[in-house]
């Protein structure tokens, strides 16, 4: 394998890493070249992008106090009690 072509494991690392940090020029180009030839890594990149988009949407929607997705305090307490009961039963 040439120095310019990266393997799938490195490509998958770069795909995941780019959602957290900006890739350098060399890494970006290596990833682009790899994605041109590898349909599995393109699919993985698409899935990671969709996952990141869903997480971003959740953060925007559910970061406010008006979000209805949060478990009420009495629900949390009930779940805690059931978990403790199950752990003590073992």
Mean pLDDT by 10 residues, the chain (90 residues): 78 94 95 96 96 86 69 85 88
pTM, rounded to two decimals = 0.65
pLDDT for the residue numbered 65? 65
Task: Identify the domain containing residue 84 by its residue range.
Answer: 8-89
pLDDT for the residue numbered 2? 47
Domain count, the chain: 1
Other CB atoms closer than 10 Å to residue 30's CB: what's the count? Answer: 19
Q: Is residue 40 part of a domain?
A: yes
Q: Is residue 2 part of a domain?
A: no
Q: Is residue 1 part of a domain?
A: no
Q: Is residue 21 part of a domain?
A: yes
Q: Is residue 80 part of a domain?
A: yes
Q: Is residue 81 part of a domain?
A: yes
Q: Is residue 48 part of a domain?
A: yes
| DSSP summary character for residue 9 | H
Q: Is residue 22 part of a domain?
A: yes
Question: In this structure, are residues 35 and 45 in contact, taking their beta carbons and an 8 Å threshold?
Answer: yes
């Amino acid at each position: 394998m040439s120095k310019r072509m990266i393997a799938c494991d490195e490509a998958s690392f770069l795909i995941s890493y780019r959602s957290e940090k900006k890739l350098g020029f060399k890494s970006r180009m290596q990833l682009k070249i790899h994605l041109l030839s590898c349909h599995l890594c393109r699919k993985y990149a698409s899935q990671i992008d969709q996952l990141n988009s869903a997480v971003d949407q959740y953060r925007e929607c559910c970061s406010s106090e008006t979000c209805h997705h949060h478990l009420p305090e009495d629900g949390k307490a009930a779940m805690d009690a059931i978990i403790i009961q199950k752990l003590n039963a073992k």
